Amino acid sequence: MDVTTSTETAPPDLATMRDVARQALADASASDLVPTMRGMIDLLTPQVQALIRRAPLGAPSATLAQVALDAARQRFATPAGGFGPDAARRRARLIALSVLSLCDHFENLGGQA
């Protein structure tokens, strides 16, 4: 049996990712979408990293994409508890912004969805 492996992954469904992120920005129960958005960021991260590596050294678009990846990681590293009754919603909104940002950087760096 010949089993081949591929380093290529299926292109992300950016339209769906953006729809979910926009829903999280508009919905009071945005924190319910955090696990879904985490999966989206987990899917986009290696693909954006690969595009960054292919970009010319010092390319502003690659630098900005790296900043966006770092921000997304930081948002998940921050404890979900936070302060105040609206902390979970605020965190979910920040994560939604990271999803939107990574979708944009994926496209700007030449990723094909």
Every domain of the chain and the residues it spans: 14-108
Q: Which residue has the higher pLDDT, 30 or 62?
A: 62
pLDDT reading at 31 higher than 80: yes
Where is 40: in which H helix or E strand?
Answer: helix 34-54
The pLDDT tens digits for 5-24 are: 334 567 899 999 999 999 99
Chain segment 57-110, per-residue pLDDT in tens = 999 999 999 999 999 999 888 777 777 778 888 889 999 999 999 999 999 999
**Phi, psi torsion values for 106, nearest 5 degrees:** -55, -50
Q: Determine the straight-line distance between the first and last CA of the chain, rounded to whole angstroms.
A: 32
